[in-house]
């Protein structure tokens, strides 16, 4: 069955094998889905899909929560690969090849070279933020950033946290040693 508005011209084959498809053609008007007389979803003429919004501003725009059932218990972070596939940022040893401990000298060098900034995102100018800038962090240590099109794009905060943990542990060892020396005097 084809349902279309008067602005749509032409015809479409409806059979794919033994399955009949239902095709909705709207021309330049949006396709709107209602339940209980309330708009729930809209596909605008540009192909943007909105759930909970009548003005989708992206290919997929929602105003509510999203559930990814195939990504349960992802408390650390969501990440994408080069193909754009969404997954959990995994921490388990089973997913990693471990080359050894992070050298304290490397961690301290990185932490001391990082230069946090304050400012606001261009889209939310009234909201102050504290950040590390990907391009600056990449100049310190490229392993601390993610790249997009071969350019620094995002700071891998889990890598920065690993450096911070090593630095704090090293500092605490030094503090403990100094306290032992003072107590022995």
Statement: residue 1 has pLDDT above 50: no
Q: Which residue carries 């105003």 as its tokens?
A: 63
d(CA 159, CA 75): 16
Mean pLDDT of 7-16: 47
In a domain, 174, yes or no: yes
pLDDT of residue 23: 73
Quick one: what percent of the chain has pLDDT higher than 70?
Answer: 87
Per-position DSSP letters for 71-87, written without gaps between them: STT--S-EEE-TT--EE
My answer on whether 162 and 123 are in the same domain is yes
Do residues 86 and 96 touch, judged by C-beta distance below 8 A?
A: no
Do residues 23 and 3 touch, judged by C-beta distance below 8 A?
A: yes
Overall number of domains in the chain: 2
My answer on whether 58 and 98 are in the same domain is no
In a domain, 74, yes or no: no
In a domain, 46, yes or no: yes
My answer on whether 47 and 107 are in the same domain is no
Q: Residue 137's domain spans which residues?
A: 93-184
DSSP assigned state of 112 = H
Q: What is the rounded average pLDDT for all residues in the chain? A: 86
In a domain, 108, yes or no: yes
Do residues 4 and 26 touch, judged by C-beta distance below 8 A?
A: yes
Please say which residue of 12, 45, 62 terminates a domain.
62
Q: Which residue carries 């969404």 as its tokens?
A: 86
Mean pLDDT of 142-165: 93
In a domain, 150, yes or no: yes
In a domain, 120, yes or no: yes
My answer on whether 120 and 57 are in the same domain is no
d(CA 180, CA 172): 12
Q: Where are the beta strands (DSSP E) in the chain?
A: 2-4, 15-16, 19-20, 23-25, 31-35, 38-43, 49-51, 60-62, 78-80, 86-88, 117-119, 129-131, 145-148, 151-155
My answer on whether 103 and 172 are in the same domain is yes
My answer on whether 97 and 174 are in the same domain is yes
In a domain, 71, yes or no: no
My answer on whether 50 and 103 are in the same domain is no
In a domain, 75, yes or no: no
My answer on whether 103 and 37 are in the same domain is no
163-181 pLDDT, tens digit each: 999 999 999 999 999 999 9
Answering whether pTM is above 0.85, one says: no
Quick one: what percent of the chain has pLDDT higher than 90?
Answer: 58
């Amino acid at each position: 069955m084809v349902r279309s508005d008067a602005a749509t011209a032409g015809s479409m084959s409806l059979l794919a094998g033994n399955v009949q498809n239902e095709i909705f053609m709207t021309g330049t008007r949006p396709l709107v889905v209602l339940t209980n007389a309330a708009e729930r979803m809209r596909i605008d003429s540009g192909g943007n899909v909105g759930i909970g919004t009548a003005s989708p501003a992206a290919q997929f725009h929602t105003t509510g929560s999203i559930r990814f059932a195939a990504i349960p218990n992802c408390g650390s972070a969501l990440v994408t690969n080069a193909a754009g596939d969404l997954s959990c940022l995994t921490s388990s040893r089973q997913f990693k090849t471990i080359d050894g401990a992070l050298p304290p000298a490397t961690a301290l060098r990185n932490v001391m070279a990082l230069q946090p900034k304050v400012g606001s995102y261009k889209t939310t100018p009234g909201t102050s933020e504290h950040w590390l800038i990907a391009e600056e962090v990449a100049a310190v240590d490229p392993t601390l950033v993610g790249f997009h099109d071969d350019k620094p794009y995002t700071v891998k905060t889990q890598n920065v946290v690993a450096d911070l943990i090593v630095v704090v542990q090293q500092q605490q060892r030094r503090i403990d040693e100094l306290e032992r020396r003072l107590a022995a005097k």
